[in-house]
Structure 1
Amino acid sequence: MSLVTAEIKAKSEVYHGDELCREKSKLLLKEVGLPNGLLPLKDIEEVGYEKESGFVWLKQKKSINHKFEKIGKLVSYAPEITAYVELGKIKKLTGVKTKELLVWITLNEIFVDDPPTGKITFKTPSGLFRTFPVSAFEVEEPVKEVKKDKEEQVKEVKKEEEHNKEVNQVATAVKVQEV
């Protein structure tokens, strides 16, 4: 049974489509101070966020498994993931499991300890936990085109002004010859 009701949806920001949902989920993680690669989901159909309570949900077409290479951990993400988020923390998490030895263990809480230390902790409902470096869950963002520095912009503006001046001189010469 889904925890996402029509009442919750009515009070929430809801997004549809894989590309937009991936962008919004990374943005949300960043806003609450968690690493952007924590939810490497695919084929996301819906993301919702109810700001007042911090309730978040993500729906994807099917469950996926993802291996975090830097720490060698396999994590399973169900078709629906729900949680409550606050600064530096995810609570009451559903739909996420990690494999320890041969057993899948449910995770229900994730938090960043002391941000300068760069540690993130994952807890189970029974109170067991594991701590890893935050960097293991960060994904490099593609670099957007860097704006030209001011010198280049000034040169381009001057070139354009010179070109316009020449065009005006030619136009003036043509008008004089016509008279």
Structure 2
Amino acid sequence: MSLVTAEIKAKSEVYKGDELCQEKSKLLLKEVGLPNGLLPLKDIEECGYERESGFVWLRQKKTTNHKFEKIGKLVSYAPEITAYVEVGKIKKLTGVKTKELLVWITLSEIFVDDPPTGNITFKTPAGLFRTFPVSAFEIEEPVKEVNNEEHKDKEVKQVASSSAVEVQEV
């Protein structure tokens, strides 16, 4: 049974399609001060955010497993993930499990202390927790290259406009 009801959808920002949902989920993580690589989902069909309550959901085509190489942890993301978000914290998380030894353990809460360089803690419903560096869940954003010709043109226009201002003042 889905936690996302028609009533919640009616009050929410809803996005469809993998590319848009990838962008929006990373933007939301950044907005609430969580690392941008925390939700490495594939083939996202729908995502939504009800700002008033902080309720968030993501739907993907199938379960995705991801290994966070920096800490050597395998995490499983169900086809539907739901949570309540606030600054530095994810609460009432559903659809996310981590593998400890040979057992899959459900995660229910994630929070960051001293963002963005501090630690991130993952809690289970039983109160067990593990803490890791935030950097283990960060994805480096690709740097957009600036065309040198465009950059030079902008510099020339700025210089020209500033000298025009100076002439007018004299």
Into which bin does the TM-score normalised by the smaller protein fall?
0.7 to 0.9
Q: CA-to-partner distance for each residue in 1:58-81, whole Å, 9 max, x for gaps?
A: 000000100000000000000000
| 1:115 CA displacement | 2.0
User: How does the TM-score come out when normalised to structure 1?
Assistant: 0.83
Where does structure 1 lack aligned partners over 5 or more consecutive residues? 159-179
Where does structure 2 lack aligned partners over 5 or more consecutive residues? 160-170
**Residues 116 and 36 from structure 1, CA distance in 2 versus in 1: closer, same or farther, beyond 3 angstroms?**
closer
Corresponding residue for residue 18 of structure 1 = 18
Structure whose CA Rg is larger:
1
1:35-54 counterparts in 2 under 5 A?
Answer: 35-54=35-54
Structure 1 or 2: more helix by fraction: 1
Give secondary structure in 1 for the equivalent of 2:35: coil
Contact 2:89 2:109 in 1 (8 A): yes
Corresponding residue for residue 31 of structure 1 = 31
Give secondary structure in 2 for the equivalent of 1:115: coil
| 1:157 CA displacement | 8.8
Q: CA-to-partner distance for each residue in 1:68-105, whole Å, 9 max, x for gaps?
A: 00000000000000000000000000000000000000
Identical pairs, percent: 85
Count of residue pairs the alignment pairs up: 158
Alpha-carbon separation, structure 1, partners of 2:135 and 2:117: 11
Contact 2:117 2:135 in 1 (8 A): no
Give secondary structure in 2 for the equivalent of 1:145: coil
Aligned-CA RMSD value: 2.0
Letter in structure 1 aligned against 2:132? F
Alpha-carbon separation, structure 2, partners of 1:9 and 1:157: 47
Corresponding residue for residue 59 of structure 1 = 59
Letter in structure 1 aligned against 2:78? A
1:150-169 counterparts in 2 under 5 A?
Answer: 152-155=153-156
| 1:144 CA displacement | 1.7
User: How does the TM-score come out when normalised to structure 2?
Assistant: 0.87
Alpha-carbon separation, structure 2, partners of 1:100 and 1:77: 15
Alpha-carbon separation, structure 1, partners of 2:123 and 2:158: 57
